[in-house]
């Protein structure tokens, strides 16, 4: 791996792309530690610690790379972009005009990306306003309680503009990494945010299972933790690389003065076609109402509060309150829904079947055209069920 990395730096274009990604990640970490003007960070840290059992806040903080807990410029991170992507992709199914744009090649995708940007800014404004107004009166904004109306509006405006600008900047950085760096920029930003919480996660494991224990217990605990991590990584790699190859045969046909075709190939269908997108989408939909409810100080004794408690994963599988485990069922259903939905966007069996028919290709034992499309669809349904379960 290190040899490959060293070889990559020998290629000028690749070296420049790697350096660009590194510089952008430095900017992200800097912004993640840059506080919002006029915000009482100590108050929010205490508030966050008091919500230690609120898994929604913990998930949101992980997605933002710890920026939410520190209430920095990047407090919202790219969560508005993720939510807006969900909205736009769902609307492509409901609105024919957007569906046509999706099928319109590169130009159509650019237009959908533009719409996603607009929705991202709108969501960032709504989320930052809810946070500034909801937490502002509880002590988040310095001097908010005794300030005049004009001062309160100014403080809220500064916080809203700062958080919205931070989210927009992260979205722009993600797009720049895609164009001038390596890989998908938004995915890299999200990955970097999640990885930034790994050291604290290891520290938590150390304190809970190793610190203060006798030598034998420490060794056993360390071995079990290491084995679980290795098994998890191995399973993830296997699930990511697993695919079902569908054999394709091409009939011989006359072209010019000779015969062409007669070759065989295969269609690789990934078991985990949607990758981690269903988890991110489902978690976003389950978490955002809980976070907003906490911001607005919703009473858990009300009907709305009871629903929010069911959406919070910290309330699931509680033997004293099993009713809230319905939230787990909803989460699993959302996972399967987004797995099938995202796959249907990225892989169209009917389009693949028609292209094969035009090129003289067919699956042995399956008639070209609609029967091929139905066959591919049935195979996808089976393997996605397994992939989503993983």
Q: Is the pLDDT of residue 258 over 60?
A: no
Q: Is the pLDDT of residue 75 over 70?
A: yes
Q: Is the pLDDT of residue 35 over 60?
A: yes
Q: Which of 66-75, 165-174, 212-221 has the highest mean pLDDT?
A: 165-174
Tokens of 289: 């109402």
Q: Is the pLDDT of residue 256 over 60?
A: no
Taking only the tens place, the pLDDT of each residue in 98-132 is: 888 877 777 888 888 899 999 999 999 998 888 88
- What is the C-alpha to C-alpha distance for residues 33 and 250, in angstroms, rounded to an integer? 58
**Residue recorded with tokens 């069911």:** 310
- Res 173: pLDDT: 92
- Res 166: pLDDT: 92
**Residue recorded with tokens 């049935």:** 378
Q: Is the pLDDT of residue 168 over 90?
A: yes
- What is the C-alpha to C-alpha distance for residues 171 and 24, in angstroms, rounded to an integer? 12
Which of 230-253 are b and which e, b meaning 16 or more Cβ less than 10 Å from the residue's Cβ? eeeeeeeeebeeeeeebebbbeee
Q: What is the mean pLDDT of the segment spanning 293-319?
A: 78
- Taking phi over 0 as left and psi of -120 to 50 as alpha, with beta for the rest, 153 belongs to alpha
Q: What is the mean pLDDT of the segment spanning 386-390?
A: 71
What is the percentage of the chain residues whose pLDDT exceeds 70? Answer: 90
DSSP string, 233-289: HHHHHHHHH-EEEEEEEE--EEETTEEE---EEEEEEETTTTTTHHHHHHHHHHHHH
- Res 97: pLDDT: 85
**Mean pLDDT value across the chain:** 81
* Rg of the chain (C-alpha set): 25
Q: Is the pLDDT of residue 251 over 90?
A: no
Q: What is the mean pLDDT of the segment spanning 156-184?
A: 89
Q: What is the mean pLDDT of the segment spanning 137-149?
A: 70
Strands 361-362 and 258-260: unpaired
- Res 54: pLDDT: 62
- Res 4: pLDDT: 67
- Res 144: pLDDT: 67
Q: What is the mean pLDDT of the segment spanning 28-41?
A: 84
Tokens of 117: 């940007």
Q: Is the pLDDT of residue 53 over 70?
A: no
- Res 162: pLDDT: 92
Determine which of 11-25, 109-123, 314-328 has the lowest per-residue pLDDT on average.
314-328
- Res 137: pLDDT: 67
Q: Is the pLDDT of residue 260 over 80?
A: no
């Amino acid at each position: 791996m290190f040899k490959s990395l060293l070889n990559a730096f020998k290629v000028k274009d690749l070296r420049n792309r790697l350096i660009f990604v590194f510089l952008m990640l430095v900017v992200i970490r800097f912004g993640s530690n840059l506080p919002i003007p006029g915000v009482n960070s100590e108050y929010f840290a205490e508030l966050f610690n008091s919500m230690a059992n609120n898994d929604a806040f913990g998930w949101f903080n992980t997605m933002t790379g710890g920026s939410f807990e520190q209430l920095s410029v990047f407090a919202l991170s790219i969560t508005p972009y993720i939510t807006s992507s969900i909205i736009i992709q769902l609307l492509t199914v409901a609105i024919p005009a957007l569906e046509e744009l999706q099928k319109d090649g590169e130009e159509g995708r650019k237009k959908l990306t533009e719409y996603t940007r607009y929705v991202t800014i709108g969501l960032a404004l709504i989320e930052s306003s809810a946070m500034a107004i909801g937490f502002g009166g509880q002590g988040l904004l310095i001097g908010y309680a005794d300030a005049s109306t004009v001062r309160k509006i100014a403080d809220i405006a500064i916080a809203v503009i700062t958080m919205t600008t931070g989210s927009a900047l992260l979205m722009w950085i993600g797009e720049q990494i895609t164009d001038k760096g390596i890989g998908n920029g938004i995915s890299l930003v999200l990955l970097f945010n999640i990885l930034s919480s790994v050291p604290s996660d290891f520290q938590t494991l150390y304190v809970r299972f190793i610190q203060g224990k006798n030598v034998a217990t420490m060794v056993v605990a360390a071995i079990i933790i290491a084995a679980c991590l290795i098994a998890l990584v191995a399973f993830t790699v296997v699930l990511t690389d697993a695919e079902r190859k569908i054999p394709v045969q091409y009939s011989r046909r006359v072209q010019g003065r000779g015969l062409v075709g007669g070759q065989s190939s295969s269609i690789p269908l990934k078991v985990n076609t949607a990758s981690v997108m269903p988890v991110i989408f489902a978690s976003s939909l389950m978490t955002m109402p809980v976070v907003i409810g906490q911001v607005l100080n919703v009473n858990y004794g009300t009907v709305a509060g009871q629903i929010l408690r069911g959406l919070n994963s910290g309330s699931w599988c509680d033997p004293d309150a099993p009713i809230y485990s319905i939230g787990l069922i909803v989460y699993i259903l959302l996972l399967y829904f987004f797995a099938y939905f995202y796959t249907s966007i990225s892989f169209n069996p009917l389009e693949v079947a028609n292209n094969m028919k035009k090129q003289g290709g067919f699956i042995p034992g399956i008639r070209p055209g609609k029967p091929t499309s139905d066959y591919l669809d049935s195979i996808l349904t089976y393997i996605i069920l397994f992939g989503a379960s993983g």
